[in-house]
Copies of this chain bind each other. A is one copy, B any other.
Amino acid sequence: MSATPQPVVRRGLLDEVTDRILAHIRDQGLRPGDRLPSNRALSERFLVATPTLREALRRLEATGAVEMRHGSGVYVRADLSRLIMINPNRLRLDGAALLDLLEARELIEPHLAEAAARNASDAQLDELAANLDRAGRALDEDAALHTANMNFHRTLGRLAGNRALAQVLDSLIDLHDQEQRHILTLYADRDHDHHVHLAILAAVRGRMPVKARRLMTEHLRDVRDVVIRALEA
């Protein structure tokens, strides 16, 4: 409510400070989870007032580059390296949007499963198997099972070797995660889904790209059928 005069931060200056913080993260090779220097140290380095620095950091926080932990400091977030992200201001999804997302996954994921069967290294496939082990041990835990299952899809997507498509898939899953979690917890056959995931893993590990594609196509159609029935219920 106050109209106290405030130092006006010029747009150009704010852009510049934002860019310099990003350059610092890259030049220093900071990784997700690493802490940035203190606000005071950064202000002195960039010769700007701390409110300006703080505003630049808030902007980077809003766009997923850093995380400001109260009383602890500012940390690099994994999202910094993404090309594509979901809109933090997005509306809640309606049923039609949810089905659009699933249809998009039906186009992309069978392609990724096929490519993973061709391109993934054995070590990567061990990671995928470990993912499924976790899911198998969490069949009675709604939240842990959902996260492990979605990680199976995300990890398989990365093993295909196309960074853009893997990030697209990550974004599609991020977008419908909340709605899917709710629906699948109520309506999915979790034992069946787990066995289908194991069959997809076996096809990828067995270097059977056509089979991996087919199983993924069928699996995602099943998921869509479950969601359609849930939306109708």
Contact = CB atoms under 8 A, between A and B. Distances in A.
Interface in A164-193: 164-165, 168, 171-172, 175
Contacts of A22: 89
Contacts of A93: 83
B49 A162 contact: no
A49 B80 CA distance: 31
Given A2-B50, A84-B84, A62 B64 contact: no
A89 B107 contact: no
Interface residues on A, range: 35 or more
Nearest to A84: B171
A40 to B, nearest CB: 7
Contact of A49 (B1, B96, B100, B175): B1
Given A1-B44, A44-B1, A107-B108, A89 B84 contact: no
Contacts of A89: 22, 60, 63-65, 80
Interface in A52-109: 54-55, 58-60, 62-65, 68, 70, 79-91, 93, 96-97, 100-101, 103-104, 107-108
B165 A103 contact: yes
Contacts of A96: 163
Interface stretch (A3-11, A122-130, A138-146, A225-233): A3-11
A84 B83 contact: no
A165 B97 CA distance: 11
A23 B84 CA distance: 25
Interface in A114-162: 162
Given A48-B1, A86-B85, A89-B60, A104 B70 contact: no
Contacts of A83: 86-87, 90, 93, 97, 175
6 contacts: A11-B68, A14-B58, A63-B87, A79-B87, A83-B90, A83-B175
Interface of A: 1-4, 6-7, 11, 14, 22, 26, 40, 43-44, 47-51, 54-55, 58-60, 62-65, 68, 70, 79-91, 93, 96-97, 100-101, 103-104, 107-108, 111, 162-165, 168, 171-172, 175
